[in-house]
Amino acid sequence: MKKCIVLSENSYTELSSRVSLFRNVGAMEVARRFRNHGYHTTQLEWFNSWEHDDLLKAFSLWLSDQDTQQVIAISITFSLNILFNIRPVLEQVKKTYPHVKIIVGGNRANEPKILEFVDDVFIGRSMEILEDWIRDQDMHRFATKYPGVYVNRDVDVKTDIPVIPEPVDDDILNSSDILGFEIGIGCKFDCTFCSFDLRGIKNPTLVEAERLRNFLQTAYDKYGVFNFYIADDTVNEQDTKLEILASAVEQLTYKPNIVCYMRVDLLEARPQQYDLIRRCNITGINFGIETLNPHAAKLIKKSTRTELIYKALRQLRTILPDAYLATGLIVGLTKDNKNSIWNSVKKLTSETLVHSISPYSLAITLPVDEVFDDNYLSSIAQHPEKYGYTITPIEHISSEDRPGGSVAMKWKNDWSDSDSAEQLALAVLHYIKQVNFSTVDAFEWLVLLTLGIVKTTEEHGVAGIDRVWSVTHNKIKRHKQTYISNKLKYLEEHK
């Protein structure tokens, strides 16, 4: 019998553990594809929260020393570093089951030391790589300088279609879980600061409204799940995406909570989107406003019509009074200035145009290893001088010094530098907390809603209180412990 265990983890830093109720949508898709290829497949969520003995027990219940086609497929969100935490477990599994192949995907830059205890690494968007690997096809078109490390340099957005999970009993779901889905992959925009995958994608395949409705309804009917996140980079980049979501939501027998990413500047250009968003029953939105200085905005390919952005936020607060609105602001952009940043923050907070603001200093980062996906570098990182930044040369940093990571460059521009920008961002953060705002984004807000910590946006001020997150983390920990216990029982019954 062919067997597969999919491991997944989405908490790679202490801060990211705030959203660790979110199930890994990529891992669920990997499990589905292995099942479709005839593998007896189970998925272990939150592997970093398992005791090593419990992980080894799970492996012993599922794997067999008699089967030669056995795979451990590991799905990581953003960073391979966390995989080192279970290196002893994986090495023990290799000794016990020498025929097992261990593959890992989800990260966007390579870490050579991973190859010391895994067989193959897939970098970037990798469903096409996975399909060829499962079918034992020629992997030459994905090859890199490292044997066993593969990158898809030509993602086919007609083949690598949006992920809509197909929940199964093996997932051990309940009403405290949050599931994700995609309506389309990539983003049509290519903002100069952005390093998201698959930028500048035109006309990708979109999911069918009926398929999306079936997923949302089944998740609720069978498992009680009614909280969801959309993994798309920009849900409102085209009206069709919102129309698909609205059509699906309006056919449901319940009202789901849904959070997503949008561009606020598109709303005034496409006013029909206001009603579409209302029909979608959006619970929370993360906006990447980044700057409200028109000169700085032009350089990063954002809207320069600042007053229209304020107008759009006011309109949204009227149309969606119960929706949680959050935005990020980049501190340090060329052609911005301190006064503009402070005026923007004070206007957003004094009028409560959003519920949360996350200020962060501009980061110009480069990967340590030379193998990474094609969109890993933002335009600013590729050509800093073109956008007004002077980079301070640094000594070479190898993966030995910074395993699995990237290095933040020191920079200067027309009015600031990396150190000054960081200090200003901290000052803005302090002010935000003083006026009872928080840096909790819409995805984190959904966690608070899911766990019953908050009920309406009128409570948005409590989201930034440390003791609130202390209670939340304890609830998340108990949820994971219950999942692990129930998962082990399930494996005992279905081994």
Confidence bin at 10 (pLDDT 50/70/90)? confident
Query: Rounded to whole angstroms, how far apart are CA atoms 9 and 27?
Result: 9
> Are 482 and 21 spatial neighbours (Cβ–Cβ below 8 Å)?
no
Give the residue carrying structure tokens 């830059």.
Answer: 109
pLDDT of residue 163 exceeding 50, the answer is yes
User: How far apart are alpha carbons 396 and 63 in whole angstroms?
Assistant: 43
Q: Which residue has the tokens 């594809």?
A: 33
Position with higher pLDDT, 394 vs 88: 88
* Token representation of residue 423: 């200090």
From 258, 373, 23, select the one nearest 163 (Cα to Cα).
Answer: 23
Range scoring the smallest mean pLDDT among 63-72, 281-290, 302-311: 63-72
What pLDDT is recorded for position 476? 93
**Res. 493 pLDDT band, cuts 50 70 90:** very high
| pLDDT given at position 125 | 85
Render pLDDT for 386-439 as a digit per residue (tens, 0 to 9). 999 999 876 655 545 454 467 788 999 999 999 999 999 999 999 999 998 889
Q: What is the pLDDT of residues 364-394, one digit of tens each?
A: 988 877 888 777 788 898 899 999 999 987 6
pLDDT tens track for 195-219: 766 666 777 789 999 999 999 999 9
The DSSP result for 4-37, as a single string, is EEEEEE---STGGGGGTTB--HHHHHHHHHHHHT
With pLDDT > 90 as the criterion, what percentage of the chain qualifies?
Answer: 74
How far is the C-alpha of 86 from the C-alpha of 38, rounded, in Å? 27
Percent of the chain with pLDDT over 70: 93
Which region, left, alpha or beta, applies to residue 404 given φ > 0 means left and ψ of -120 to 50 means alpha?
left
Tokens describing residue 183:
């309506």
- C-alpha 191/C-alpha 308 separation (Å) is 19
**Which residue from 166, 150, 160, 154 is spatially nearest to 185, judged by alpha carbons?**
160
pLDDT per residue as tens digits for the range 265-302 = 999 889 999 999 999 999 999 998 999 999 999 999 88
pLDDT in tens, 94-110: 999 999 999 999 887 88
pLDDT-based confidence at 17, cuts 50/70/90? low
Q: What is the pLDDT of residues 26-41, one digit of tens each?
A: 999 999 999 999 999 9
Which pair of structure tokens corresponds to residue 92? 């023990």
**Mean pLDDT (the chain, rounded):** 91
Tens-place pLDDT, residues 455-490: 999 998 888 888 999 999 999 999 999 999 999 999
Nearest CA to 366 out of 387, 388, 391, 386 is that of 391
* Least confident among 6-20, 37-51, 146-160: 6-20
Say if CB 4 and CB 71 are below 8 A apart. Answer: yes
Of 229, 222, 277, whose CA–CA distance to 256 is shortest? 229
Task: Categorize the per-residue pLDDT at 45 as very low, low, confident or very high, splitting at 50, 70 and 90.
Answer: very high
Q: What pLDDT is attached to residue 403? A: 45
SS3 category, 374: coil
Within 10 angstroms of residue 473's Cβ, the number of other Cβ atoms is: 14
Q: What is the 3-state secondary structure (H, E, C) of 136-174?
A: CCCCHHHECCCCCEEECCCCCCCCCCCCCCCCCHHHCCC
pLDDT tens-place string over residues 227-279: 999 999 899 999 999 999 999 999 999 999 999 999 999 998 899 999 999 99
The pairing of beta strand 149-151 with beta strand 411-412: unpaired
